[in-house]
Amino acid sequence: MRGKRHIIGLVGLLCLTCFAIRTEGQQRKTSKVDILHSDNFEMDTRRNVTKFIGSVRLRHENMLMWCDSLYQYQDSNHMEAFGHVRAVQNDTVEMRGDYMFYDGNTRFIQLRRNVTLKDPTMTLTTNHLDYDGLFEIGYYFNWGNLRDSLNDLDSKRGTYFTKTKLAFFKDSVKVVSPDYIIYSDTLKYNSETKFVSILGPTNIYGRSGVNNTLYSEDGWYDTNNGHAELYKNNVITHETYRGVADTMVMDSVRKEARLYRNITLVDSVNNTIVKGHYGWMNQLTNEAFVTDSALLVMVGQGDSLFLHSDTLFMLQDSAKNNILLAYHRVRFYSRDIQGACDSMVYNTPDSLISLYLDPVAWASGYQITAERMSLLTGRNSVKEFYLDTRAMMIGQRDTVRRDSGWMFDQIKGRNMTGYFADNELYQVYVDGSGETIYYPDDQGVIIGANKATGSNIRIKIKERKVTDITFINKPEGNMTPLFMVFPSDVKLKDFRWLKYRQPKNKDDIFNYPEPPAEAEPVRRTALPPE
């Protein structure tokens, strides 16, 4: 019984609701339009039209209207207004145009030719405006312009909500703001807060005259303070750099950008690529850094160099030359040269890479160490190397002897310079305190160990083997037959075999191998200059 009463109650409630909706519709349909003034009027009984001529003024609910002449259709509650049409809703929204059609039943307005829609926050101009007076929404569909105290917006189609101050723009959208010009497919804009919401493919161009652009498909931009956050398919271009990231946070006042996840920065002039998962850029100082899985790729024609460190810094000197710094735990790999150190500086003007804090490199089968090391590059291949203080080269002999693992060609000196041709080391010059140990061979058979010293030495290398040693000054040395050579006697002072630190491939640069038990501890001596 209670269930039956419950059903009857629901049916009654539905009937009352329908009656209320119907009653409301009837009241709206029969709502009276008051003609407040007209210079003249006439009746067209055949068409059931009343014509009001001259300085017409009328009221309908919360709407006041003015025009030069008005046709009122009695059987449909429709009206047509001509000449100097003006309508004001709630004393806040004003519309003007040359022609207006008004439906008194639905409060729907069509304005045509020289149309403006104004509220306290903005002015919208177009030639075709439809306005829903019930929900207070304006629509234009054949080009329009919205202007407020800060921004100027154009689009082919648009919708404006006068209550919430929200505008939706579609098709060929253009926004002119104090710092940027925006071109978009779809935008949302709040004329009160000055917020631009990006809803589709959008290009943002800086107005500073510098090549400074943004692209995104989702995000927002606060035109009050130039702050933007972009979330989809983001691309930033600044001078010679082009960058992408999953998320970008921009500050046009400070000229800063913060980048998050899957960052790629491309320098088209120097053919370098920087990757990582967090980055920062400053357009005023032309500084940037990338960290979290930071990777530098120096793109070459036949080979590329891949470098990883904790953080990669990019800056410009006073001559606007780009400089790249890597800190800390640097490891790099290419087919022709590999290396590791704690810190690195790459000067793009002279293509010089400087390695600091226990640097080690491998090239043409030789391990190269010094307190400080510099690599001169050209077209992203090594042309020369410079070893500063406690320079040493070590090459392990590859022979048919099973016990030859202890045989190392060694070159040591205060400073050292090496020269490359076709990515192969062919000559080394030792400047000061030169020492050598190498294993001459006769038709592929090692005949002994040659140990010599001299202040300055020139070494020739062919097919990764020492072929000739020339001592500039009078040398001291001796040859020991191989059968008399003990492995403990053929290592120069400070000999360290660091093969475990050599990156095996471009993915291995992200690994930091532990030294084997017999390896000597890493020394940290010279620091990079400030």
- pLDDT on residue 380: 63
- pLDDT on residue 103: 93
- Comparing CA positions, the residue from 30, 31, 80 lying closest to residue 51 is 80
Could you give the CA distance from residue 244 to residue 2 in angstroms, rounded to a whole number? 66
Q: Which two tokens stand for residue 200?
A: 């589709």
- pLDDT on residue 295: 96
CATH architecture of 316-510: Sandwich (2.60)
For 221, 232, 253, 478, the CA distances from 215, given in Å and listed in that order, are: 12, 9, 19, 70
Could you give the CA distance from residue 337 to residue 385 in angstroms, rounded to a whole number? 11
- pLDDT on residue 480: 84
Could you give the CA distance from residue 174 to residue 143 in angstroms, rounded to a whole number? 11
Q: Which residues contact 265 (CB under 8 A, 6 or more apart)?
A: 241, 242, 243, 273, 274, 275, 279, 288, 290, 314
- pLDDT on residue 518: 61
CB 175 within 8 A of CB 189: yes
Q: Which residues contact 80 (CB under 8 A, 6 or more apart)?
A: 70, 71, 99, 100, 101, 102
For the chain (length 530 residues), average pLDDT per consecutive 10? 41 38 43 90 87 95 95 89 96 96 94 96 96 95 94 96 95 90 94 93 81 89 89 88 92 89 90 93 88 91 88 88 92 93 90 93 93 86 91 80 71 94 90 88 80 88 84 81 82 92 95 76 46
- pLDDT on residue 125: 97
What angle is formed at CA 140 by the lines to CA 137 and CA 141, rounded to 5 degrees? 140
CB 241 within 8 A of CB 266: yes
Q: Which residues contact 299 (CB under 8 A, 6 or more apart)?
A: 271, 272, 273, 380
Could you give the CA distance from residue 132 to residue 140 in angstroms, rounded to a whole number? 12
Q: Which two tokens stand for residue 101?
A: 């059609």
- pLDDT on residue 448: 84
